[in-house]
Structure 1
């Protein structure tokens, strides 16, 4: 299976809409856009040198994928997750990434190239400090999950995986999950080892535990009604 396209990379021979979509998503990873920030059509037109038609189509696509919200009279803004939405997203990630890890473990021995990509991505991620909240760290983490999903060999799983939304969640709820930063950072190596060893059950378990920690701490920080 070919490596799934990164949400921040425009495809070859990309249209202006595809290029703009990738540029805005990359802006999220690079810290130029943040949850709640407005996206003004005129500003995007000037910054990226495209007409309003592609800008509006891109904003509609971003809204359809849960990355921005469109409000009558207020326009577009980077999506800001509510507490319940964050829990729902984490529970979805717990299930989907756990499934991907188990499937990847089953295929690790038969897909040497995919296993090598995951191993390389895990090593790149391990080279960062656990407290890093930099664009490079975010991109390395995205490459790790991309390699994991690629090795799983399930095109539908790759299609529905909410990779950009998970980045929005980490940005917005950084304070809540900060105390688990070092442990969560170590998890990536543990997940990779289990997958590369072909241990399907352990791969699923440690991956789901990774997300369950975040779910638990989010419950502890639930806002008062």
Structure 2
């Protein structure tokens, strides 16, 4: 009898999850072909994203804030969003994360942190307002980290970030690597072009400060490429 009941419960779980997962997959596959940025650069924007979390493990730890800066492909500012998010499991906060972002559930409540579903709705509303009909590429510094946490946040609300962003994700260290800069922390490019860093004091270190410095580094990399090209002798 116990085995039968267990099997029945498992089937209920599977059937309850399947429609949600199928809905997400259908949304991901519904988009038709779109022109690449080289073909239609004026139809593309960049969403520079940075998140703060309760730890390093997506799916166990959670986002506690997000900063998004929408720019043109040249890095020109269009709009920005900053949200604090109240995690479902604040007790999972790691000591390392606390030292970086000073998360405190009570303080977050006082600061108007949104629940996960409301946060997703706010991010989607911002995207529609800022991007309009343009196609958007996500840009992040530690892209697999930020996109994984964003994915878990959206899936908690039965949505997908692919409703907003193209499936390619750009990351700044790879851009720098392609230009011969292999320090990974952008120290050289920031020093060369006097890029202002973000605060490293925990209660001032947020997703929006991270996203803004990412934009500044991105623009510095574009300038560095231009300087390299300008130094090439013309035959």
TM-score normalized by structure 2? 0.33
| Bigger Rg over Cα | 2
* More relative contact order, 1 or 2 (CA 8 Å, 6+ apart): 1
The structure in which a higher percent of residues are helix is 1
